[in-house]
Amino acid sequence: MNALRRARLYHAHHRTYTEDLPFWVETASRYPPPVLELGCGTGRVFRALREAGRSAFGVDLSPEMLRVLRKEMTPEGEAVPVFRGDARSLGVAAASLGLVIFPCNTFSTFDSSGRAALLGEIHRVLRPEGGFVFSAPNPLLLQEIPSQGGLRLEMTLPDPAGGEMRVFSAWERAGTRFTIRWVYETERDRCACATTHLLEPPERTLKALRAVGFTIAALYGDFAGGDFEPFAPYLVVEARKC
């Protein structure tokens, strides 16, 4: 299966998740433009921001993901403000952004050295008092669940190429690493992908933010503004550049 087909299946799966969209749109309304979305992928959050009238642009490493995003948002082929790039080296002018967001639990896929480079770059491109907001799986919760979860059917969805797609998931925890595997099974093909999260204690993450010059403005356990606590589903952090 080629990378573009994978990206299309990924989009068909993840576009069903909408719980966090009001949170990102509301967050963007509280900061001056523009907003940069890191890891914009196929545009699930990015599209919501643009449709809400936010001045947003996006970056992603995958050209195939960006190709799907552009096709979904502008079937006529008009320009969309997204570009291919590495979040640790954006090539964006210093102090030029009002807000940087990192949705979709991607922040926790960076190891310690990667996070240090990422946070330094985000701090560089933000204006004073600019915001950095990200979501991650709650590492305290993931340390408490069973160390393995066997493959199970999550949902059945339309295949973008016609027919049905079945989505399966499984997970495994080894020490401080939590890996979730997705399997997409259609009438014509099958593919698997995996994402590994580093289960770093929240205190260490907050310390790393402060070390590069951020203050912690808010800490949530979900996208409705609930308190962060050990059994909350997420760690959602809103930080501001000092």
Task: For 178-215, write each residue's pLDDT tens digit.
Answer: 999 999 999 999 999 999 999 999 999 999 999 999 99
∠ CA 82-41-97, nearest 5°, is 45
Q: What is the pLDDT of residue 78?
A: 64
Q: What is the pLDDT of residue 133?
A: 99
Q: Take residue 3 and report the two structure tokens written for it.
A: 């990378």
pTM, to two decimals: 0.96
Is 125 a residue whose pLDDT tops 90? yes
- d(C-alpha 2, C-alpha 69), whole Å: 17
Task: Please tell me what DSSP assigns to residue 63.
Answer: H
Q: Take residue 12 and report the two structure tokens written for it.
A: 């068909």
Is 117 a residue whose pLDDT tops 90? yes
Task: For 54-64, write each residue's pLDDT tens digit.
Answer: 999 999 999 99
* Phi, psi dihedral angles at 6 (to 5 degrees): -60, -45
Q: Residue 211, Cβ neighbours under 10 Å: how many?
A: 11
Helix 3-14 / helix 63-73 crossing angle, nearest 10 deg: 60
Q: Where are the alpha helices (DSSP H) in the chain?
A: 3-14, 21-29, 44-51, 63-73, 112-125, 139-142, 202-211
Q: What is the pLDDT of residue 79?
A: 83
Catalogue the long-range contacts made by 122-126 (C-beta closer than 8 Å, 24 or more residues apart). 122/38, 122/87, 123/212, 123/213, 123/214, 123/241, 124/94, 124/95, 125/36, 125/90, 125/92, 125/93, 125/94, 125/95, 125/96, 125/97, 125/100, 126/95, 126/97, 126/98, 126/99, 126/100, 126/241
Query: Comparing C-alpha atoms, which of 81, 43, 82, 42 is closest to residue 65?
Result: 42
Share of the chain above pLDDT 70, in %: 98
Q: What is the pLDDT of residue 76?
A: 58
Q: What is the pLDDT of residue 74?
A: 81
